[in-house]
Structure 1
Amino acid sequence: MSEIIEINYGPLAALIGVWKGDKGIDIAPESDGTEENPYYETITFEEGGDLTNGEEQVLAVLHYRKIVKRKSDDGIFHDETGYWMWDAKENVIMHSLNIPRAVSLLAGAKLNDSNYKNGKLSIDISAGIDNEDWGIVQSPFMKQKALTKNYRQELTVENGKMICSETTMLEIYGRAFEHTDKNELTLQS
């Protein structure tokens, strides 16, 4: 008989499941200004187990996929996949993401007691092109035309609700631009 091993997902356990939200607002750059798009999204977080790096670091892993659709035409305008990881020994949370615009990043932060208590999870992670630990990789075309300089994501999860805010600092259309997405999601299952 095989032994069942329980994975300690720590703070990531609060994310597991399917989340849906229809209150999203995307503020994006246009060549002649700014465009606002109301959207809805689905984020699916699935248990990925644990893995060991270099026989020392043990990470609890969730795989996720986020699909974002415009309310105006039901068209997908953002498709993202990646992993959320938690290093319990170091109490570090990490988020790797890929979008099909040839941009990838690894964001992270050290957690403390205030991040996860009384059933409420608060995460504030970031990455930057000049950050030695939490970096951004992008294709030469994106570096030239739509450079992502910094990324920040804030998540709050409590009582089956998730408030998500992402801010990306871009160099696009010859100017600096703060691209923001905000939404409130509800746990479906």
Structure 2
Amino acid sequence: MSSIIGGVDYGPLANFIGVWEGRSGVDRAPKPQGDKTTDFSETITYTAVGDVDNAEVQDLVVVHYHQVVTRIPDGKVYHNQTGYWMWDKGTDEVMFSVSIPRGLCLLANGTYEKGKAIKFKVKAELGDTAYSVVQSKFLLEKAKTEAFEIELTLNENELTYAQTTFLDIYGRKFDHTDTSSLIKKS
């Protein structure tokens, strides 16, 4: 697949663009009465944004995403997030922004490796001056996110990921994990 879309070189982000569906996700989340594992399905829609320049120097290429996650046991949507994948053409850095309607946003950065598949690895840590977590007062007091990381592998028609949100919740540290595999539908 060409990385040129609409005259823009999307580089490592090119194959994201489209609609992806998965039915094999596993969420391991903390609960006060004991940890819970939930099977989920999801749809992630990636849309080309194009070139974005910052201060007439930085040349970013941007892809917007919207993820909707549904619990398989009861069919209820329990997670909805949006954000961007960004690639800095000059430094070859990738960035991933997340906004969740619970009072949490983050900006992670990292690297990618290009081979038969493209492997992305990004991370954000609370307190980092550039790539950090911003959260509401409630979350800081009751369910603080201390760090976030995701490893994502992008093939032509398959996307897999493993992500960990490092929490301080219910009086303990907890690694909240999500894994999934999605197929490109369009």
Q: Secondary structure at the match of 2:30?
A: strand
Does residue 25 of structure 2 align to residue 24 of structure 1? yes
Does residue 5 of structure 2 align to residue 8 of structure 1? no
Structure 2, unaligned stretches of length 5 or more? none
Which of 143, 147, 150 does residue 150 from structure 1 map onto?
Answer: 147
Q: CA deviation at 1:37?
A: 0.6
Number of residue pairs aligned between Structure 1 and Structure 2: 182
1:133–1:164 distance in 2 versus 1, CA, 3 Å:
same
- Fraction of identical pairs, as percent: 40
Does residue 104 of structure 2 align to residue 134 of structure 1? no
Q: Secondary structure at the match of 2:35?
A: strand
Q: CA deviation at 1:96?
A: 0.7
Q: CA deviation at 1:43?
A: 0.4
The equivalent residue for 1:174 is 171
User: What is the distance in 1 between the residues matched to 2:65 and 2:126?
Assistant: 23
User: What is the distance in 2 between the residues matched to 1:164 and 1:19?
Assistant: 13
Q: CA deviation at 1:130?
A: 2.6
1:7–1:142 distance in 2 versus 1, CA, 3 Å:
same
Contact residue 22 and residue 42 of structure 2 kept, 8 A: yes
User: What is the distance in 1 between the residues matched to 2:6 and 2:15?
Assistant: 19
User: What is the distance in 2 between the residues matched to 1:155 and 1:162?
Assistant: 7
Q: CA deviation at 1:5?
A: 6.2
Contact residue 23 and residue 40 of structure 1 kept, 8 A: yes
Q: Secondary structure at the match of 1:79?
A: strand
TM-score (structure 1 length as normaliser): 0.93
Comparing 148-157 and 159-168, the one that deviates more: 159-168
1:20–1:57 distance in 2 versus 1, CA, 3 Å:
same
Q: Which runs of 4+ in 1 moved over 6 A?
A: none
Q: Say what the alpha-carbon RMSD is for the aligned residues.
A: 1.2
Q: CA deviation at 1:110?
A: 3.6
Structure 1, unaligned stretches of length 5 or more? none
User: What is the distance in 2 between the residues matched to 1:6 and 1:95?
Assistant: 23
User: What is the distance in 2 between the residues matched to 1:110 and 1:117?
Assistant: 13
1:70–1:161 distance in 2 versus 1, CA, 3 Å:
same
The equivalent residue for 1:188 is 185
The equivalent residue for 1:33 is 34
Does residue 121 of structure 2 align to residue 124 of structure 1? yes
Q: CA deviation at 1:100?
A: 0.5
Contact residue 158 and residue 184 of structure 2 kept, 8 A: yes
Contact residue 14 and residue 121 of structure 1 kept, 8 A: no
1:181 alignment partner AA: D
The C-alpha deviation readout for 1:127-184, integer Å capped at 9, x for no partner, is: 0103222100001110000000010001001131111111000000111111000001
Q: Secondary structure at the match of 1:33?
A: coil
The equivalent residue for 2:51 is 50
Q: Secondary structure at the match of 1:141?
A: helix
Contact residue 111 and residue 121 of structure 2 kept, 8 A: no
Comparing 5-14 and 148-157, the one that deviates more: 5-14
The C-alpha deviation readout for 1:12-63, integer Å capped at 9, x for no partner, is: 0021111100000100000011011100000000000111100100110111
